[in-house]
Amino acid sequence: DGLLIGEVWEDASNKISYGERRKYFMGDELDGTMNYPLRDILLDYINYTISSGYAAERLESLSENYPRENFYGALNLIGSHDRERIITAMAAEEDYQAAVKKVRVMSALEFTLPGVPCIYYGDEAGMEGYGDPFCRRPFPWGREERELQVHYHRLGQLRNKYKALRLGDIQFHCALNNQLSFTRTYKEQTIRVYMNRGSDDWQIPAGRILLARNMLTVAPDQLVLGHNGFCILEDE
Give 124-179 pLDDT, tens digit per residue. Answer: 999 999 999 999 999 999 999 999 999 999 999 999 999 999 999 999 998 788 99
Answer yes or no: are the C-beta atoms of 164 and 190 closer than 8 Å.
yes
- DSSP annotation of 34 reads B
Give the CA dihedral 176, 41, 56, 92, nearest 10 degrees. -20
Decide if pLDDT at 90 tops 90: no
- Rounded to the nearest angstrom, the gap between the alpha carbon of residue 41 and the centroid of all alpha carbons in its chain is 9
Residue 53 near residue 25, CB atoms below 8 Å: no
DSSP 107-118: HHHHHHSSSEEE
Q: Please, what sign has the CA dihedral across residues 131, 133, 136, 138?
A: negative
pLDDT for residue 219 is more than 80: no
Per-residue DSSP letter, 236: -
* 8 A C-beta contact, residue 189 and residue 168: yes
Residue 29: band (very low, low, confident or very high) from pLDDT cuts 50, 70, 90: confident
pLDDT of 34 reads 94
Q: What is the pLDDT of residues 30-66, one digit of tens each?
A: 899 999 999 999 999 998 999 999 999 999 999 999 9
